[in-house]
Amino acid sequence: AECGSGAFIGIIVAAVVWYTFASFATRTYLTYLRSHNDRGNLPPSVTPFLWTPLTTIVFPICALVAGGAAAWFGIGGGMVLNSLLLESEIVPAAVSATGGVTTMMTALQSAAIFIVDGQLQWDYALVLLAAGFIGTAIGQLVLMKKIREWKAQYLIIAALLVILVGSMVTQLAMGIYQTVIVADQGGSLGFVPLCK
């Protein structure tokens, strides 16, 4: 559909309606599970996180803000997801694993887009891929073993905090640097109408 056409606007409206419906249906189902769990009708494994009427509203809003921030500012959704999962009182090891899988899926999606567009710099990609595998192997085979041995779950939270703060500082520095470079060269900062 051509940008700005009736079909284009219809697709956007249909997507908003669908996601709103899906959100309310999911909220209804989660509160239903919570009520059955409170009565002892379900095993704890079915609902590892006990959703409340408040969290079924707050967490999706946080996810929406995180998605917007990821699109606008380039931050990773894993950073926000880890914080939400820790707030949900999920064990740090599970939070770390979930954040890692989320980051991997996001990276694969981004890499696929760059490959299709022919913009992937293979030398950087292969070095970063190797670094990611080596870091994961060291973390899982050495550090996680020591954390379990010492019963020091707080180290996982400390590592997540260091990664979160480091990523935020790096993103901020890169954003400022790129904005200054573009502004000095008289380029556009990207604020353009939806349909050019």
Q: pLDDT category, 48, cuts 50, 70, 90?
A: low
Residue 35's pLDDT is 82
pLDDT score at 107:
81
Report whether 95 contacts 160 (CB < 8 A): yes
Cβ proximity of 77 and 106 under 8 Å: yes
pLDDT level of residue 16 (50, 70, 90 thresholds): very high
Q: Is the pLDDT of residue 189 over 80?
A: no
How many Å apart are CA 65 and CA 73, to the nearest integer?
11
What is the DSSP secondary structure assignment for residue 194, as one 8-state letter?
Answer: S
Sign of CA pseudo-dihedral 37, 90, 75, 169: positive
Confidence (pTM): 0.61
In degrees to the nearest 10, what's the CA dihedral of 169, 175, 176, 177? 100
End-to-end CA distance of the chain: 14
Report the distance separating Cα 185 and Cα 98, nearest Å.
41
User: Which of 3-7, 36-40, 97-101 shows the lowest mean pLDDT across its residues?
Assistant: 36-40
The Cα–Cα gap between 125 and 123 comes to: 5
